[in-house]
Chains A and B, each alone.
Chain A
């Protein structure tokens, strides 16, 4: 699904965000990207939806060389993957329904299709009853579920999540992670950048740890800290 080969990313201000990163992610995988702030988690995600272009190396997503895309092809790529953020990035003057439908309008979808797909997606995220509300009238968890609905309404093969629970309380965090898991079991590849230890440790999925822009560890059914379960303390 995703193939990142020898990728380095240096920002125009000289900061080296990623340093020779190689990573394969299989179709249907659920993967956590962990690491302290500023170690390149967000940068790695940004490369995948062409919000940044690597200074070196190549990136293939679903058979497409993402690092070579320009113009309308970037738009086309983004229609086939969903992205959610810590700050939701919803349009505040549009209702829940409109925010989700917006992502379909952009693709040129037929109105009939929009009217069929949006309620179905809102149902999936459990917001069918709040479709006429505005983001400001929703809780943080509901706003994030709206963002997820928008991200998956076009049935993407890949869902990228940048600190999706960073602004949420534990209860909402659990709800959101359950939702992501459900989306994953339907066949969508999910990549979650987070530093929420309890989430990572509870779910026991593949964990890739970045340190200083390099891959530090990569383990199946991993923990937030290498080899350590929740409750254990890393000493030294």
Chain B
């Protein structure tokens, strides 16, 4: 007796295999619809969720990018100290850009900003200090940069949206954690529902499986049609979901952006194609894996 399994593919065999998959797939329309529907609902939820997350993260990032550090000098600071700070800022990799605002310029700005409410023309001398406005490329570095600048000679005070930065950064972290937890939960629930659906089809065909094994089918051979069926559920389900998401976005996005202008909803920074492909892959993976596992317990040898 020869052990091991050698399968040489020929067209007749491919036809037989596809026939088996097709036969199973068309046999119980209700069950198939349930499985496909479950994948579709899961992928729609996942898609919505990913989109909301990316949008929120985008909004947060944009707010963080606008955060500025203002570095005020003592009124008696020397030009040498100011030049020293300029050199420090130029050398610091974390600093994206900076501008020097001399006190005369500061006064002009103040005059512009407070036009009417405060009469600056009454001032006999300029009470404002010179300052630097600094932007940092990585928002999480804002605090560190600000605290280092505070220690430089001639610097009187450093002001930045400390609480805002902290909250936005924290929001980002929370958002990431919550979204990972939700995605895991969602996939878990979907896998359970789909594997139960497939378990029903497997149960309906347990006699057939027993006979296949009786005539010498390997576990892989028995499993393959079911896994293909699962992959097909995943593919069709996520395609349905993508169509729903696409229609939803086309119909609702513009209205949403108009209704919430302060959020500056801007979908263009979210690349749609990679998300669509990811969702498709996730759907196919749920379908394939859950059927792989749900048939496992009928394959004892």
Residues on A close to B: CB < 8 A?
49-50, 62-64, 70-80, 83, 89-91, 93, 102-103, 105-108, 110-112, 114-115, 150, 154
In the complex, what residues of B have CB within 8 A of residue A107's CB? 216
Q: Is B217 a contact partner of A110 (Cβ separation < 8 A)?
A: no
Q: Is A76 a contact partner of B221 (Cβ separation < 8 A)?
A: no
Interface string of B1-30 (1 = CB under 8 A from A): 111111110111100100000010000000
Alpha-carbon distance between A102 and B214 when the two chains are bound, in angstroms: 11
In the complex, what residues of A have CB within 8 A of residue B217's CB? 75, 106
Closest 5 CB pairs of A and B: A111-B12, A79-B216, A108-B7, A78-B216, A103-B215
- A71 contact from B1, B211, B301, Cβ within 8 A: B301
In the complex, what residues of A have CB within 8 A of residue B10's CB? 110-112
Alpha-carbon distance between A80 and B216 when the two chains are bound, in angstroms: 8
A-B contact pairs, 16 of them (CB 8 A): A64-B1, A71-B301, A72-B4, A75-B5, A75-B219, A75-B221, A75-B301, A77-B216, A89-B207, A103-B215, A105-B13, A106-B216, A106-B217, A108-B6, A108-B7, A114-B12
B114-147 contacts to A, CB under 8 A, are: none
Interface size class of B (residues with CB under 8 A): 20 to 34
In the complex, what residues of B have CB within 8 A of residue A79's CB? 215-216
Alpha-carbon distance between A114 and B301 when the two chains are bound, in angstroms: 26
Q: How many residue pairs bridge A and B at CB < 8 Å?
A: 80
Is B275 in contact with chain A by the CB < 8 A criterion? no
Q: Is B12 a contact partner of A83 (Cβ separation < 8 A)?
A: no
Known contacts A89-B211, A103-B215: A76-B12 contact under CB 8 Å: no
- B216 contact from A62, A64, A75, Cβ within 8 A: A75
Q: Is A91 a contact partner of B211 (Cβ separation < 8 A)?
A: yes
Alpha-carbon distance between A79 and B244 when the two chains are bound, in angstroms: 49
In the complex, what residues of A have CB within 8 A of residue B81's CB? none
Q: Is A111 a contact partner of B216 (Cβ separation < 8 A)?
A: no
Q: Is A62 a contact partner of B221 (Cβ separation < 8 A)?
A: no
Alpha-carbon distance between A108 and B5 when the two chains are bound, in angstroms: 8
Shortest beta-carbon distance, A135 to chain B, in Å? Answer: 12
Of the listed residues A62, A64, A106, A112, the one surrounded by the most CB atoms of chain B closer than 10 A to its CB is: A106
In the complex, besides A76-B3, A90-B211, A106-B217, 13 extra interface pairs with C-beta distance below 8 angstroms are A50-B301, A62-B1, A63-B1, A64-B1, A75-B301, A76-B1, A76-B2, A79-B216, A89-B211, A89-B214, A106-B221, A108-B13, A111-B13
